[in-house]
Structure 1
C-alpha cells in the first residue's frame, strides 16, 4: 500500500487529501469527527506529536500545517457539516520577515485578516500560550498587538502554567472565561533510554565524584548562558574537579552566544557539544547529569524541563520561572534571580544537595506529567469542548488514571489524522 509520511516539502494539497482520507476512516458509531488543523507544525519538536497522540480515539483529526497561511487554501469551500477547529501554537513566524515597524504592522494586520477569514468559514480558534513574547523579540509593540488580536478572536486559550495570566499581564490580558489549563506533557516513550549512568559519564569523561549540570536545547542568550558559565567557573576555581557543565545544543549566531561557545570550549570544567543532539544521544546527556540547569532570564514553559522530568532528572531554576509549579514537591533547586552572584551561590549549593531525595521528587513530577496522562486528558477535554462549547475546568492531571501503553499516533511516527 502506498503511504506518505510528513515532510517539509509536502504540499498543502496533500495534507488536505490526507485529512479527508482520515475522515473517511473514522468509526461510524463514534462521535462526529472534528478536523483540527494545528500550526505551525515543527517536525523537529515532539511536543505536538505527543499532545495530539490520543486524538484519534476521540474522532479528532489532527492536521499538521506548516504555515498558518496554508489554511486559506485548505479551508476554501469548507463543508458546513464538518466541524473545524484551528489550533495556533507559536506566533513567532508572523513577524519573522518584518524588517521595520511598518512591515511588522502589516504582518499583524494580515494575520488578523487570516483569523477573521477562518472564523467566517466556520472555524473555531484555540491558542496555546507557549511564551510571554518570542525570546528574540524585535518589534515588541507589534508582538503585543498580535497577541491581543489572537486572544480577542480565540474561543479557547490553552495555558500550561497557572502562572501564565500573571506572567503575560504586563503585555496583554487573558479573559478568565477563555482560559483552559493542561500541563506540558512529558516525553515518555519518545526517546531511547537504555544507557546507564556509568556508561553515560564514561562517554562524556565525567568523574564519579563530580556534580554534573546539563544545559541543553538551543543555545541562546536568553537562557542565561553567560551567567551560568561564570557561576560554574567561580565554583570550579574554588572547588576544583567538583563541578562539570555539559553544554549540548545548536548555538545561534548572536555575539553573546559566540563568546560563550568560545569560552566554554576552552574551559576544563565544560563538556561542549555545540550541535543539535541526535535523539539517540539525549539519554546520554540525561543519565550523565545530576541536574538540568534552566537559568533562563524569562521562561513561561519549558520543553527541556519536561524532558528532564521524563528522565527523572531534577532541575536548577530561578524562582520567577513559570514552570515552578511543575516541580513542587522537591524536584528542583530554586534560587533568587538576582544575577550571577545568586546563581553562583546556587551552583555551590548543588555540591551539597541530597540527590537521592531530588531524584525521587523528579521521578514523581515526571509521572504527574506523563505523556499518556496529559495527552489523554487534553483529548478528552477538547472533545468535550468541541461538542458543547464549554471551556473545561483545570483539574490536576494526576486525577486521571489511564493505561500507560505504547505511544500511539504521530509520536510513534504516524502523521496526525492518519492513525486508526
Structure 2
C-alpha cells in the first residue's frame, strides 16, 4: 500500500485475543494505517459501534455471541432487532460492514430460526461478504442467499511463523514419552460434541476388532470432566493414548503435530477448517469428512484424505490404516510447501488490506443510505475479487 491515508478504525467482533487467525489477517492492514480494536460481547459491540465514524469499518466474524448467548428465544429475537437497527445506524453514518462467513451456522445452536434470520439480515445489509471456501454460497443456500456482487474470496491463511519451528519427530516423540517408531494419530482442539471425537474412538475400536495395528492416540485440548470420562471409557482395552485435556499453549502446539503421523478431524459440521491449515503448517497429513465442498477444495492435495460420511466408522478406520502405511516423502513435503506458500500470512493479509481500502471511503464520499436491501455494487467494481 502506497502513500499516506487517513487513519480508519476496524472494529472486530468477536475479537478473541488468543485467536491467531485474527492476528494474522490484521498484519498488512495495520502496516497500511488501519487501527484495529475489538470486543467480545454483544453489549460491548453496541457500545463500541457508537464510536465509529464515516470511513471506519465493522468486521463481523463468528455470529454466535449476538444471539446464541441470550437467556431465552424471546431475548434472542429482541437482540436481532437491536442488531438490525445497529446495522442501519452504521450505514447511515457511513460505516462499512464486512461479514466473514466462518460456518454455515454456529456449531452450538440454541435458537436456530433467529440465527437464520440473522444470516439473512447480514446478507442483505453488509457491504462485503468475505468467504474462504469457494463453495460457501452453495453451502449456505438453504440458509440465505449471499449477494454475488458483494462476495470477496480471500483464502484462510497458513499459520507459518505463528507457532515457531517444530522439533524433529524424534524429539517431539521423546517429549511426549513415545517410542521413535510408534504410529500415532492426533486430535488437537477443543473437545466438543460437534467435533465427532466419538467417531474417531469407534474407528480405533474397529481397527482393534479387525486385528489391525492400533495407533497411539494423541488427544490434546480442553474438555469437561464428563467428556474426559466418556473418552476414557470408549478407548479399546489396551489402546495407548497420550492425553492432555486442557488448553495447549502456542509454544507446545508444534510438539504435538511433529509427533503425529496423521491428524484426524472427524467433524460433523464444517465449512472452513483452520485445523487443516494448522496441520499443513507442520507437514502433518490430515483426515477430514468427505463433505462435497471439502473434497472439491482440497481433493487434489495428496496429504488430505477423506472418510465417507455414509459409513464413518468403517471408512475412517480404513483411511487411518491406509494412511499410516504411506511413508513420508520429499514429494509430499514439496506439496505442503506449495500449499503453505500460496496462502502465506502476509500474502493473505495483503489481500484483506486491499478489501478494507476498497470499502473505506475517501474524503468527500457520501454516507451510504440504509435500505431494505444493501446497496449493490455493479459487477467488476471491486479492485480485485480475490
TM-score category (smaller protein): 0.7 to 0.9
Is 1:137 the counterpart of 2:113 in the alignment? no
Per the TM alignment, residue 354 of structure 1 is displaced from its structure 2 partner at its CA by 4.2
Partner residue in 1 for 2:284: 313
Does residue 296 (structure 1) correspond to residue 267 (structure 2)? The answer is: yes
Secondary structure, in 3 states, of the residue corresponding to 1:130?
Answer: coil
Match of 1:47 among 5, 13, 21: 21
Separation in 2, partners of 1:70, 1:99: 17
User: Which residue matches 1:407?
Assistant: none
Q: Matched residue of 1:87: which SS?
A: strand
Structure 2 residue matching 1:355: 3-state secondary structure: coil
- 1:225 and 2:178 aligned: no
Work out which of the residue numbers 43, 47, 62 in structure 2 matches 1:90: 62
Contact 1:314–1:358 (8 Å) recurs in 2: no
Aligned pair partner of 1:205 in 164, 169, 177: 177
Partners in 1 of 2:116 and 2:53 — Cα distance? 34
Q: Distance in 2 between matches of 1:380 and 1:320?
A: 31
Match of 2:368 in 1: none
Question: Which residue of the partner structure matches residue 81 of structure 2?
Answer: 109
How far is 1:97 from its partner?
2.8
Q: Deviations over 1:298-340 (max 9, x none)?
A: 1011221111111122211122065442463322112322221
| SS of structure 2 residue aligned to 1:304 | helix
TM alignment of 1:123-162, pairs within 5 A: 123-162=95-134
CA distance 1:58–1:267, shift in 2 (3 Å): farther
Q: Which is worse superposed, 259-268 or 98-107?
A: 259-268
* Cα distance, 1:78–1:89 mapped onto 2, change above 3 Å: closer
Q: How big is each residue's C-alpha offset from its partner over 1:13-39, in whole Å with a ceiling of 9 and x where there is no partner?
A: xxxxxxxxxxxxxx9x51233221111
What is the 5 A alignment of 1:228-243? 228-239=200-211, 242-243=214-215
Instruction: Provide the residue aligned with 1:121 in structure 2.
Output: 93
Aligned to 2:244: 273
The correspondence for 1:163, drawn from 110, 135, 157, is 135
Counterpart position of 1:70:
44
Matching of residue 345 in structure 1 with residue 308 in structure 2? no
**Does structure 1 retain, via aligned residues, the 8 Å contact 2:14–2:41?**
yes
Q: CA RMSD in A?
A: 2.6
Moved more, 96-105 or 265-274: 265-274
Separation in structure 1 between the aligned mates of residue 167 and residue 324 of structure 2, nearest angstrom: 24
Q: Which residue of 2 aligns with 1:59?
A: 33
Structure 1 pair 267–113 and aligned structure 2 pair: CA distance change class (3 A): farther
CA shift in 2, pair 1:180/1:152, >3 Å = same
Distance 1:77 1:163, change over 3 A: closer
Q: CA deviation at 1:211?
A: 2.6
| Residue equivalent to 1:377 | 351
How many angstroms does 1:345 deviate by? 1.7
Matched position secondary structure for 1:245: strand
Counterpart in 1 of 2:11?
37
Equivalent-residue separation in structure 2 for 1:43 and 1:284 (angstroms): 22
Secondary structure of residue in 2 paired with 1:93 = helix
Structure 1 residue 73, shift from structure 2 partner: 3.3
